[in-house]
Structure formats: C-alpha cells, structure tokens
Structure 1
Amino acid sequence: MSRGRKRLKQAASEQDFTLKECQSIVQAVSLRGSNQIKIMDAKRDNSLALFPESLCIRRGTFLASYFDSSFTLVQTVETKIKSSLFATLYFGLAVTQQKSRRDMCEIPRDLMIEVFMRLPAKSLMKFKCISKHWSSLISSRYFCNRVFTVARQQQPRLYMCLVDQFGQRELLSLSMSSTSPDNTCFVVDQDLSSPGMGGFFLSIVHDLMCFYVTTNACIYNPNTKQLLTLPAIKSDIIDEQGQRKDTRYPIGHDPVNDQYKLFCTIAISSRGLANLKSEHWVFVLEAGGLWKKVVPREHYHPHAPLSRGWFVSGSVVHYMAWLDMHICAVVSFEITSEELTIIPVPKKAGDVFLPAVMMMADIIEYGGKIAIFDHSYLDDEGLVDLWVLEDAGKKKWSKQTLVLQPCQRHLVHDTELKVKGTIRDGKVILAPSEMGSGFYIMYYDIQSNSLTRVKIEGVPHYWFDKICYFDLKFMDESESFIYLET
C-alpha cells in the first residue's frame, strides 16, 4: 500500500494531474483525459468513498479508483461489511455504518457528480437502485445537463427502425465497421439492438429518439433503455372516408426553459390535396405533461407534411410540406416561442415542378442553411436541383443544378431513392425505398457530385425480401443521460 501511496503522491505533483480541495481536509486526484479518479484525504488518515449521505466509512485508509465501469477498493485496516448483498450492489465497495457522528464524513455533492459523470449510462441506471439519494441525484435535470456537456467524442452511431406489414418492429443500432478503412460499411451491434422497439418517422435530438406507433408517439432513450408512450391526441379535425391523414412527430429542445418538446402536425386531405386541413400540437416532456394545441398566426396556410424529412437547427424544427399539389414550402416551428413560419419555394421562369405525389425531394441542412434537395430527375438524367434559403427574413432563395458524374449513373438506375438527411461533412444520405437481398445507403457529395455506396451488414435475415418500412437517423452527440419523467 505504501508504494500505492507513493505513486499517488507522485502523480499529484505531475502537470497532467490536478489537485482539488473538496472539503477542509478532503482532496481528490483526477487524471485529465482518462476515466480514472482516485480519492484520499489530505493527511491520508481518513477516506471517502462514493456512498449516500446515510452511509459513511469508518476511519481508516482507503483508495477508491474507477476502472472500466467498475470500482475497486483497497484498504489497509480491517473493515466489516454489514451486508454482502450491499457490497455486491456497490460493485465491490466495502461499506459500514458508523455508530458515532464523530467518525462520519459526508461526501460533497459536487464530488459525487464529478465521479458519476465518468460512468457510462448503464452503470448509472444500476446505481439508481442503491438509494433514494443517488436516484434523486442521477435523475435530476442538473446532472443530466452536466453529463451532456461533457465531450465524449464517440463515433457516430446509426439507428434503423424497421416495421413490417404485420406490425413487427425492431430498432437496430449500427456502428462503423473496424475492418472498413474507407468508412463504407456499417455493422449491426446485436447487443445494442432492441427487438419490438421502434416505429414510424424516426427523429432524434440529444440522444432522445421519437417514433410513431399506431396512434401514439413514443420517446426512447437508447442509453438508459427508458421508453415513454405519450397519450393520443384528441384531434379537432377528423378524416372522413376516402380522405388521407398524415401525422408527424419531430422532437426538439427549448434551451431557454431547458425543456424537451414534441411537435405534432396532423393534416387531412381529399384526392389531389383538396379540402386540405392541418393543425399542430405541442407536448412538453415533463411529469404530468399534456398535449396543447398551437394557435397559428393570422396568415396561416394549411399544409400536408408528405415528406419524411426534417432537421433541427438550434431551437427550430424545419420540415418540408405541400400547400397544394404544385407548391411546396419550408415550415419552421420555433420550440421556445411555439410559433410557425411558412416559406414557399418559388418558381423561376422555365421551372417545372412535378406534382406532390411524383416529386422526389426533401429538406436538408446545407452549409448551415435550409435547403431542398430535389432528385426527381437523378435516375433519368443524373440531375439534382438544390434550392437554398439564403435569407429567411426576406424569403430569398437560390437554385443550382447538380450533375452526377456519368460513370456513377448506374448506381441510381431503376432505383427509387429517399432523402434521409445529411452526415457531419454535409453529404446527403440517400436510401432505396425498398430493400431486397441486402441493405445499403448512399452518400451524395454536393461538392464533387459523386456517390459513395455504404453497406449495412448484420441485419437479421427475416427482414430480407419482405414488405417493410424503415427509417434511418444518425446519433452523433456525446453520450447523454436524459431521464424521462413520467
């Protein structure tokens, strides 16, 4: 143990370590840039371990260390363990209750938070079962926000929702294959995938995902495995026989009030988008939350969200919709103020817009701006029209026509593609409408007008050659621990 003390003292004097005063006599040595933390009092006469306030450590010398999501405890004096089950719950930490307040040491809240932040979400969920104090701390919004601000620089993870015609559902988690040097292959992680989970119209914000199942929206945190099914909306517009109904549920975050909100658009229409009606609802993700109807502005125009794409920029949710069969628009919903803005995409001389049911286009983020990626003529002519909203206030648009490299035309021949958003470097994700013997996506590079085919391996074989709906979204934020209140 003396050698261990010497190493700890020596490490504390190095520049890579920081010595932080936690209480009058307690200090913590933390190694920056790693997942290791060592705690010992200044005189090495007393010790602190990570326990609730109701528990304490008998005076002695301990060294508490964190390695690979587990704790090890080394002690130099004999300590009795009151409960072997308790010790198991604490992942090997020896605990004992003190009979004297004189020997009791309380653990600073900030110190507990700093150590908890270095743990993976799976361990934190287990630690919630240890005591009410830990459960309250880990579930608090303050702690969740602190965890989210810690950069963990993980590789982007791709999530895929699959739903067949009989209602069978599965949520697949995919990561980049380690054997693919050019990043052209994703592999399904069977341990992180969730059969029976997922649904329609997947959206993600801050590691919370939302999808639609039958008449209800569901919120799911893949890190904590929490699932929250929201109540159904009692809509004021009812679809009659022969009418079409479209419902979308993007999720966003209000940074001003630190709230997560679900935004719902419901539209009904007759053939050819006749008799079009739409309404909007908001659900604040909190205990006792209810659906609240959004009151639109005076010049509100009903619209149908026929496309599947949307993206969140700051506190604004953007999606593409149709005002009628020949006019599409960008609809923006400000999460904080709960206000809607509708900006139609203009027509220039010589422009020919296909009817809504035939146009292959969707909204993307391009260089930090809103854009419409129209690939209706990609198959036949190798052309893409890119509409960019240069100034939202002035409703000023620009348009450019992209020409796919001729040597890659075979990649899109006789293939109906859907836009699935963009990746970090701005490439547009295109996915086939139907998957046959295998799953894959393609990246369209707007700068070089080239396509890259990316394989998806490990999808269960029972999803091949069957009619199924699927959606894709990247989750490239650092790991977060957002607790879903019910």
Structure 2
Amino acid sequence: MKRGSEEKNHETSLSPLPLCHRNINIPLDLTVEILKKLPAKSLVRFKCVSKCWSSIISSRKDFIESIVTRSLTQPPRDAHLIEDLYNKTDECLLVISSPCHQMTHKESVSILGTDHEYARGLFFCWSYDHQEGAIYNPTTRQSFNLPKMKHSHPGICFFGYEPLENHYKVLFIPNPVHRVEQACQVFTLGDTTAEEQWRNIQNIEYLYPFLSYRSIVSINGAIYFLSRFKVNDTTTEYKILRFDIRSEKFYNVDLPKTVTLMDLCWYYLINYQGKFGLICCHQRMEIWIMEEDAEKKTQRWSKIFFYEMEGFGNWFISNVTRAGEIVFINTPLDTSRICYYDPKRNSVRYVDLKDSYPKERDWDKGLLIRTFPDYAENTMSLY
C-alpha cells in the first residue's frame, strides 16, 4: 500500500442492487437506518453507489459514530501489529483476533515508522528517524500522510481522540534543544477551516518526553505521557503530564504518595476501564487508578491490586483490555504467544499468532508484537 493512498480491493463481487426505481424516493433518514444495519466491509464497497451514500458512510459524524459504537458492543476483537525489526522496509502484519475466533482477519500493510498509537479504529504511525507521520484506517484501507511542518527540527508526536467535538488530533513536541526556535504544535485530522495545518500552542520548557510505547496513553479526550524535566545539569526528574485535547493545554498529574519520581521508570501508563492508571510489574504487580473531579479540579489515587510475584522482570506489558485484562508478552522478541491475565479472577488465557506469520520466519529473531485491545471498525474517510 502506498502511503497517502487508498488500497484497491482486487476481489470481484456483485455490484449492489439499487434500492428502488428512479421514480421512487426513499427518505434520507430511512436510507441512513438501512445502511446502519450493513457490515462495515459492505459499507466501504457501497460508497460507489452514489455521492449521497459515500457522504453518509464516510463523512456523516452521527453515522460513523454508530458504526464505531456497534463494533465496540460486539464480542471484543484485538488488533496486533507484528513488526520485523530486521526488515529494512516499513511493512507490518496486522492481525485481528477475538476470544471467539483465534484469528478473524489478517493483512500485510505498509505502516510508517516504529512508533504506533491507536484511537477508535485509526492507527497513528510516527517515524522519529525521518520525522514523518501517517494515519491508517484498516476498515477503509486508507492512509493519510501528515503535512510537513515549516520547521524541520526533530521531535515526537502523540495521537488522541476528543469525543465532545469528535476530533482526532496529533500533538508534536520538539526536542528541548530546539524549543526556543519551534513551539509545540497540533494537527487536527479533517479540519479544512484552519488557515495553518499545524498550529502553535502552549510551550513547555526542559521537557524530554519518553519515546516508549509504555509512556503514552489517550483516555477520554486527554493524552497522558511520561516525561523528564531537567532540574539542573546533574538532576533529572520524572513527571506525568496530561494534554487536554480540546483546550490544547498541558497539566501536571500528581502521583500516588507512595510512588516516587524515580519509581516512575518502572511503571506503565494504562487505560484501565476508562480511567487513567499506572501498572508496575517490577518484582511485584500493582495497579493504581486515578479518580478525577473536574469541578473541584482534584485527583485521588487508589491501589486496586497488589501481588508479590517473582520473575516479572521478563514480562512485557503490551496493553490492557476494556474488561481489565492485562496483555503480556514474555519478552518482546522471542514468542508468538500473547497472555491475557485477569487480576480480579486470577485467570489466564492465551492467543498464539505463530500461524499468522510466514512459516519460514523464525519468531525468535527480531519480531515485535504490539497489541491494541478492543479494536473498532470505523468508516471515516481520512481525506
């Protein structure tokens, strides 16, 4: 798949029959309700029926929201990106699995870079080496290249969704050495009214965001990320910041009283059943969940799980499902098995992706798996 393009489906299929003769008018509301009953894969094909249908399926916000919501109410499915670290190309394998069926979908896609984030059916891909970003929609098989910024100083990008205004935004944070010359910037997907595609926003001094998957999570219209602040030439502190996607402002996040700034390097930032949380698996497992009071502007932490366990240093936490299952891989590079651990029930289930990759490829040689739980279909057009 070429970046910034739409993949072509070479499978032959019967064209959809017209719903009516030319002399029969079907009310628009009824047409919308009929289309809502169709599978997402059929909707993508039926965009060619008419401009009206294409607009409803790919641009009408309430229709797209209904498709995403319907997808999330069905049996959960997880998206797995399998990346070959020894392969010089940017091709990854995307596998969709569910507890009911070991594998429901598999496709090879060309996805930019090695930093990948996910929000409501869309994947964001960022290449730090090339300073390029792209958004990919597996449902429509479209990809969209982010426009170039005026300045070319290196930095990193985060991706998130704001539900009140239904906006997908990309946050760019330049490296601290270039912070005087270039401010933090925001790009809004699908915003055709903006004079500038990238807009300057509030800046932050001496900020070193982590480049790790474990240090970023987007929840309920906010992006939480782990960063380092250079206090002086010899001292660096760890902090968690929250970026409010709607107001485009940064806020500090207070830590649990028993978690020190230096301890943060052992914690993963997670979305635990719709709430921001921290999880640590260094010699023990503990989960902290943050409760926020927007009116009082207060934060309160509670430890919901603690378990002493040896050998957790070899475990790689990939994500957390909506049901509260922690997604583990034994180490990032030497196994095709994914472990789902439910701390409340103290139960484990496994998904094996070995059959999804070419048999001639050894799993113990540089294959990296990233799991994105609760994958949703999204018919939104990226351009």
Specify if TM > 0.5.
yes
1:260 pairs, out of 152, 163, 168, with: 168
Distance 1:336 1:115 in 2: 33
SS of corresponding position for 1:327: strand
Aligned amino acid, residue 338 of structure 1: E
Distance 1:423 1:223 in 2: 21
Q: Once the two structures are superposed, what CA deviation does each residue of 1:366-407 show, in whole Å capped at 9, x if it has no partner?
A: 46542222223x2xxxx13544435573455456882345xx
Q: What are the within-5 Å matches in structure 2 for residues 74-473 of structure 1?
A: 89-91=15-17, 93=18, 104-142=23-61, 143-150=63-70, 153-161=73-81, 162-165=83-86, 166-176=88-98, 178=100, 187-189=102-104, 191-197=105-111, 199-213=113-127, 214-235=130-151, 238=153, 247-255=156-164, 257-268=165-176, 280-286=184-190, 288=192, 290-296=197-203, 302-309=207-214, 310-324=216-230, 327-345=237-255, 348=258, 353=262, 359-366=265-272, 368-376=274-282, 378=283, 383-391=284-292, 393-397=297-301, 402-404=306-308, 409=310, 412=312, 415=314, 417-436=315-334, 438-447=335-344, 454-460=351-357, 461=359, 462=361, 464-473=363-372
Distance 2:288 2:19 in 1: 63
Structure number with greater Rg is 1
Distance 2:354 2:99 in 1: 9
Distance 2:362 2:184 in 1: 34
Q: Once the two structures are superposed, what CA deviation does each residue of 1:88-140 show, in whole Å capped at 9, x if it has no partner?
A: 5334x59765xxxxxx2222111111111111222222222233333233333
Distance 1:335 1:403 in 2: 35
Match of 1:26 in 2: none
Cα contact 1:160–1:473 (8 A) shared by 2: yes
Match of 2:374 in 1: 475
SS of corresponding position for 1:89: coil
Cα distance change of structure 1 residues 475 and 387 upon mapping to structure 2, 3 Å threshold: closer
SS of corresponding position for 1:320: strand
Unaligned runs of 5+ in 1: 1-86, 98-103, 180-186, 240-245
Query: What is the Cα deviation at residue 344 of structure 1?
Result: 4.9
Cα distance change of structure 1 residues 293 and 107 upon mapping to structure 2, 3 Å threshold: same
Cα RMSD (Å): 3.7
Distance 2:112 2:371 in 1: 11
Specify which structure has the bigger relative contact order, considering alpha-carbon pairs within 8 angstroms and separated by 6 or more residues: 2
Distance 1:203 1:447 in 2: 27
Cα distance change of structure 1 residues 366 and 386 upon mapping to structure 2, 3 Å threshold: same
Q: Once the two structures are superposed, what CA deviation does each residue of 1:150-199 show, in whole Å capped at 9, x if it has no partner?
A: 467322222222142413421322313547xxxxxxx444x542233364
Aligned amino acid, residue 193 of structure 1: E
Q: What is the TM-score normalised by the length of structure 1? A: 0.62
Cα contact 1:265–1:280 (8 A) shared by 2: yes
Distance 1:278 1:388 in 2: 35
- Give the fraction of aligned pairs with identical amino acids, expressed as a percent: 22
Aligned amino acid, residue 131 of structure 2: T
Unaligned runs of 5+ in 2: 1-12
Q: Once the two structures are superposed, what CA deviation does each residue of 1:391-432 show, in whole Å capped at 9, x if it has no partner?
A: 573455456882345xxx46x4x72x3332211222322334
Query: What is the Cα deviation at residue 286 of structure 1?
Result: 1.0
Query: What is the Cα deviation at residue 220 of structure 1?
Result: 1.4
SS of corresponding position for 2:356: coil
Query: What is the Cα deviation at residue 484 of structure 1?
Result: 1.6
Aligned amino acid, residue 230 of structure 1: L
Distance 1:476 1:203 in 2: 12
Cα distance change of structure 1 residues 426 and 145 upon mapping to structure 2, 3 Å threshold: closer
Count of residue pairs brought into register by the alignment: 353
Cα distance change of structure 1 residues 112 and 348 upon mapping to structure 2, 3 Å threshold: closer
